[in-house]
Every structure is written in structure tokens, then in C-alpha cells.
């Protein structure tokens, strides 16, 4: 890398900005370190070079060209392009932008839930899991849920544990949950739930998109119910009632079973969630 070519070209690009300080702030680069780039004493790391190129809207090979070749290219470009600050994006900035449009107070949904949906591993059986929605930092809500992936017979548990954690956001009067499996980290789930318009939360219903529990791991979409238990719940006691149950089990109940059945009505051509 020609440090002097890069330094000369970088000084030209910076001349289109209000100040060097503005460039350093936008790039989140130390001013003293950036001055070394401008003087040709040091060259940016590969990571910083990519940031600089993205910021100014140039390619890395252009920034390393001889200055007499680089200058006509930049001056021939529309001034607006050279002057327009290009937003530097990180993998999380899009989420921060999205949260500006989200409902910030989901406190009424905080607490514990039983979670019901039909199993993909055990035909005609229902999984009953246990989950919690909570506020981890101001205005940012998360969920955790745990399942015992085994047939529950005679109160005996003899199977696998499945854990999920993810974010909870309300946008456009719908609750969106996106999370990942915490143990093997080989799966994500996405839920869209109907919020409740009552002061007291009872149930949240919607659709879950994920993969099946079979070896094929094909994508699946199914109805799901979050049944509210309260804010002060003994986790261990609640988990004892979780497992995989026959669909007519008293641990599932007729109302829950009716709402999570994955059927389509005549005339439907897509899979719909069922509001409560």
C-alpha cells in the first residue's frame, strides 16, 4: 500500500467535509491516529480502510491510486455525492432505527407464560413450555422460554431440554419476537402475536416460524398460544407441568387445543393467525 498516495487522496476527500474532526467523529476513529493517515506516517488497518471507503463512497483500489489519477475521478463526480455524508452502519444500527418506531412500554406483558403449540416430533401431541417476557434494559424487552421435549407420562420427565432467548418488539399493533436456540445455537424462531387491548393480559395468540424437530429440519409455520400466569411465579413448579402431552390432555385444555390447531378454513390460501 502506498502510504503517500493514500494520504494525498484522503486529504482531498476530507476537503469536501466541514472539518477533520467531523470525519473522525463520523468514523469513530481517534484524531491522532487519523492525522497519521493524512501525513502518510501509517496506513489504516484493513477494517479501518473499509470504513473510510464506505464513508466517502470510494473503492479501496481508488483510494490507493496515484493522486494525479485519483483527483480527476473525484472532481468529475457530482459534488452532492462527494459532500453527502454516508451513514456508517454497524450490524446493530438498523435495530436501533427500528426501535424508534416501536412501542416502548410493554410492561403489561411482563411476566410468566405457558406456551402451547403442536409438536413436529411427536404427531398429534402438544408441547407445553414455560416462558418469561421481561425488560432487560430501559425500553428493551426480551423473552426466554424452556421446553422439555419428551412425552409426559405419569409425571415422569425423560427427555431433552430446549431453551430459547430473543427480543420482543411491538410494531403496528403486533408483537414480534425473534430468538435463537441457546444450547446448540443451530436454530432461530420468529413469532408474530396479537396484542391484547385489555388492561389484563390473559392470552397472546399468533404464528411461529421455525424448523421442525425431525431430522429433515424443514421450515414450518404453526399456531401458538402464550397463556399468561402472572409476574410472581415459581419457575421450578411451573416447569414441572411442562412436557409433550396428548392433545386431549387436561394439561392442554379444549380452548387451547382449538386455538392452536393448524387447520385452514375453506377459501383460505395462506396460513393465518387466529385472534382471540
- Count, residues in the chain: 276
pLDDT higher at 84 or 236: 236
Q: Is-contact 9 63, C-beta < 8 A? A: yes
Predicted pLDDT of residue 146: 92
Determine the angle formed by the axes of helices 31-39 and 20-27, rounding to 10 degrees: 120
Q: What is the pLDDT of residues 153-202, one digit of tens each?
A: 554 445 678 889 999 999 989 999 999 998 888 899 999 999 988 888 99
Q: Is-contact 126 247, C-beta < 8 A? A: yes
Q: Is-contact 184 168, C-beta < 8 A? A: no
CA proximity to 207, closest of 192, 227, 195: 192
Domain segments of the chain as ranges: 3-88, 107-260
Q: What is the pLDDT of residues 78-94, one digit of tens each?
A: 433 434 444 444 555 66
Residue 116: strand, helix, or coil: strand
Taking residues 57-61, report their average pLDDT: 81
Predicted pLDDT of residue 90: 52
CATH 2.40.128 fits 107-260, yes or no: yes
The domain at 3-88 falls in which architecture? Orthogonal Bundle (1.10)
Cα–Cα distance for residue pair 92/160, rounded to 1 Å: 33
Predicted pLDDT of residue 92: 56
The yes-or-no verdict on residue 123 having pLDDT over 90 is no
Amino acid at each position: 500500500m502506498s502510504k503517500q498516495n493514500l494520504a494525498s487522496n484522503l486529504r482531498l476527500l476530507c476537503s469536501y467535509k466541514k472539518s477533520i474532526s467531523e470525519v473522525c467523529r463520523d468514523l469513530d476513529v481517534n484524531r491522532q491516529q487519523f492525522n497519521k493517515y493524512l501525513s502518510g506516517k501509517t496506513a489504516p488497518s484493513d477494517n479501518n480502510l473499509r470504513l473510510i471507503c464506505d464513508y466517502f463512497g470510494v473503492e479501496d483500489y481508488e483510494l490507493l491510486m496515484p493522486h494525479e489519477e485519483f483527483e480527476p475521478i473525484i472532481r468529475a463526480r457530482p459534488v452532492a455525492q462527494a459532500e453527502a455524508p454516508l451513514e456508517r452502519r454497524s450490524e446493530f444500527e438498523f435495530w436501533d432505527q427500528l426501535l424508534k418506531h416501536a412501542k416502548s412500554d410493554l410492561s403489561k406483558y411482563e411476566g410468566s407464560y405457558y406456551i402451547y403449540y403442536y409438536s413436529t416430533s411427536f404427531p398429534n401431541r402438544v408441547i407445553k413450555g414455560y416462558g418469561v417476557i421481561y425488560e432487560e434494559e430501559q425500553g428493551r424487552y426480551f423473552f426466554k422460554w424452556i421446553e422439555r421435549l419428551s412425552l409426559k407420562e405419569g409425571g415422569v420427565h425423560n427427555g431433552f431440554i430446549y431453551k430459547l432467548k430473543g427480543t420482543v418488539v411491538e410494531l403496528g399493533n403486533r408483537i414480534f419476537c425473534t430468538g435463537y436456540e441457546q444450547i446448540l445455537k443451530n436454530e432461530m424462531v420468529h413469532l408474530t402475536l396479537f396484542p391484547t387491548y385489555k388492561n389484563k393480559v390473559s392470552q397472546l395468540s399468533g404464528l411461529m416460524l421455525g424448523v421442525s424437530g425431525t431430522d429433515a429440519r424443514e421450515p414450518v409455520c404453526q399456531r401458538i398460544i402464550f397463556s399468561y400466569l402472572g409476574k410472581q411465579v415459581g419457575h421450578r413448579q411451573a416447569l414441572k407441568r411442562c412436557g409433550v402431552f396428548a392433545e386431549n390432555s387436561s394439561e392442554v385444555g379444549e380452548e387451547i387445543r382449538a386455538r392452536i390447531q393448524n387447520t385452514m378454513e375453506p377459501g383460505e390460501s395462506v396460513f393465518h393467525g387466529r385472534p382471540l
